[in-house]
Chains A and B, each alone.
Chain A
C-alpha cells in the first residue's frame, strides 16, 4: 500500500526547520511556527496510527522505485506509535523551551535545530532500510551535537567533546557492520535482509558470520541507547539546559532501543539462545542494576534523572530479551510510557532547578509551600515512573515481568532477571523520592522573594505530559490493542516482509 502520508511526519518538521532559519531575529514567529509544526505532526501521526490499525502497514516507495532497488519508508504500528509519542514529547518540550531556554540560545538557531532533531528521530522510526537508518541517525546526531553545545558554557563544551567522539566512533562501527552485512547478503533493505538471512539459516550457510555481524550491530545500538555501554550518558545528558536534556532522555536513547528492537525481531531472530537470552538478557539486567546504583549514589538532580534513563533502558530491553508476545508488548508499552514520563520528570526537574538556583538536592528544600502544583506533579510522575498500579508504568512493567516469569519456566535465568528488574524499580522509586523529599518537602529554605526563577509558562506543557501519562495508565484498554498489534508485527516478520512487498 503506497501512501504519501507516511512521509509527512518527516516532511513537516523538515520544511519548518528550513523556514525557521530565515526567521533568525523574529523569535516570536519561530515559536508560533514550531508549535504549529508539532501540532500538525501530532495530528498526522494520530491519523497514521488509526490508518494502520484499520488497513495494515503503510509504505512509501520514494521516487516510485520499488524495493529492493529504491528507498522505502515503512510505517508499521510500532513505528507509528513511537512517532506519535515523539511528536507529543516534542510539542511539550518546545513549549517548555519558550520560557526557559533564554534569549541567547534562541538567537543561535535553537528552534530550527529542534525541528531537525525531530526529523532524524521520526525518520529513524519510519525508514525501511539499514543505510537510511544510519543517515537518519546522523541527521539526529548532528542536530544533537549542536544542541548539546549550544550556549557554549564550559561544562557543555567539555561534555559535548566526549559526546561527539563517542558517537563518531559508534557511527563508524555502524557503517562497518552495514558493509559486512552487504557483503554477506547483498542487500540493505530490512525486509529483504530478513528473507535472505532466513534462507541462510535454512541452508545452514554462513550462520556464524551473521551472528558476529548481529553482535557488532548490537554494540553500535547499545552505545546509542545506553544499554550497558552507558558511561558517557550521565555526564553528557546533565550538561545542557534541562529542556534539551529532556528531549535527549526522552527521544535519543529510545531511537537506539527502537533500532535494537527492529533488527533483533525482524532480521536476527534465529539465534535466540545466544543473542537474546544470553547476551541481551544479561546486558539488560546489568544495565538496570548499574543504572539504578548510579541514581541512588548521586545527589544532583540532573545526575539522578540521567541515571534513571539508563535503568529504564535495561528494563525495556529485558522485554526484547524474553522475546515472547507478552513481553514484547509490555516493552513497547513501557517504552511509550518512559518517553512521556522521562520528559515530564526532566521538565519538572528543570523547573525545580530554576526556582532553587541549584541542582544539588541537599541545598534546596520546601519548595512545595510556594509551588504546590509542580510539587505534586513531580510526586505523581515519580510514582508513575516506578510503576505504581493506576498510573502508566504499571501495565508495561506487569507484562514484561509476566513474560519473563513465563520464560523462566524453560530458562531459569529469567527468574533472576525479573527479580533484578523488580529490585531496581524499588530503588528507582527511592532515587526520585529523594528529589521529592529534599527538594519539595522539608524545611522551606527560600522565601518567595529569594527564589531564582518562576514557573511561569512552564507548568502547562508538564500538565499535558501528565495527562497523557494518566491516559496511558487509566485508558489502558484503549491503548493496549494498538500495542498488541505492534507486538504482532514484531513477532511475525512475515507481516512486515509482505507489507514491504519485495519482488525478487
Chain B
C-alpha cells in the first residue's frame, strides 16, 4: 500500500511540475494544486499506513494509526485550499487588468 501511495504522490508531483512549467496561468495554478496534493499524500505515507486501526489512543488499545500526520495534513490542506482560492482570484484580476494570461507576456518590468 505504501508503494502505491508513493507512486501516486510521484505522479502528482510530476504532473504538477509539468503544469507549472507551462505558459498558461490557469494551468500553473492547477499545477500548484496538484503539487500540494502530492505533498499531502507524501506526508500521510511517510508515517507508515496501518489499515484497520483508528487513530485513537485508548488505554486498552494495542494498535492505532499515528494521528499526528493526519492532524498535520488537515492543517496543510486548509492552507493550500485557501492559497489556491486566493491564487485563482488574483489570476482572474490580473487577467482582467493586464489582458493576458500568458506568462511570457508577463515578463520584465516597465523600466527595463
Contact = CB atoms under 8 A, between A and B. Distances in A.
Contact of A135 (B48, B75, B106): B75
B103 to A, nearest CB: 8
Contacts of B47: 182-183
A360 interface: yes
B90 A235 contact: no
A235 B35 contact: no
Contacts of B63: none
Interface string B93-112: 11001100000001001110
Interface string A284-305: 0000000000000000100100
A154 B38 CA distance: 33
B111 A360 contact: yes
Contact of B46 (A131, A145, A182): A182
Interface string B10-43: 0000000000100001001000100110111011
A135 B71 CA distance: 12
A157 B42 contact: no
A465 to B, nearest CB: 27
Contacts of A131: 72, 75
B93 A155 contact: no
Nearest to A148: B90
A157 B35 contact: no
A160 B75 contact: no
Interface in B70-90: 72, 75-76, 79, 82-83, 86-87, 90
Q: Could you tell me the dominant secondary structure of chain B's interface residues?
A: helix
B49 to A, nearest CB: 12
A13 B59 CA distance: 41
Contacts of B106: 158, 161-162
B94 A165 contact: no
Nearest to B87: A164
Interface in A136-195: 138, 142, 145, 149, 152, 154-155, 157-162, 164-165, 168-169, 171-172, 175-176, 178-180, 182-183, 188
Given A135-B75, A158-B98, A175 B93 contact: no
Contacts of A135: 75, 79
A165 B86 contact: no
Nearest to A146: B86
B43 A149 contact: no
Contact of A142 (B25, B32, B86, B94): B86
Highest count of chain B CB atoms <10 Å: which of A155, A160, A165, A303: A165
A138 B86 CA distance: 13
A162 B106 CA distance: 9
A19 B49 CA distance: 43
B110 to A, nearest CB: 6
Contacts of B32: 165, 168-169, 172
B28 to A, nearest CB: 6
Contacts of A138: 79, 83
Given A179-B39, A235-B109, A300-B111, A161 B91 contact: yes
Highest count of chain B CB atoms <10 Å: which of A158, A160, A172: A172
Given A168-B83, A172-B35, A179-B46, A154 B90 contact: no
A482 B20 CA distance: 45
A142 B75 contact: no
A438 B43 CA distance: 53
Given A142-B83, A161-B106, A182 B90 contact: no
A175 B43 contact: yes
B72 to A, nearest CB: 6
Nearest to A153: B97
B42 A179 contact: yes
Contacts of A134: 76
10 contacts: A154-B97, A155-B110, A157-B90, A157-B93, A165-B28, A165-B87, A175-B40, A178-B72, A182-B46, A188-B68
Interface of A: 131, 134-135, 138, 142, 145, 149, 152, 154-155, 157-162, 164-165, 168-169, 171-172, 175-176, 178-180, 182-183, 188, 235, 238, 300, 303, 359-360
Given A152-B93, A169-B32, A182-B46, 14 more contacts: A131-B72, A138-B83, A155-B110, A157-B90, A157-B93, A161-B106, A171-B83, A179-B39, A179-B43, A179-B69, A182-B43, A183-B46, A188-B68, A300-B111
What are the nearest 8 A-B pairs in CB distance? A183-B46, A179-B43, A157-B94, A179-B46, A168-B32, A175-B39, A172-B39, A138-B79
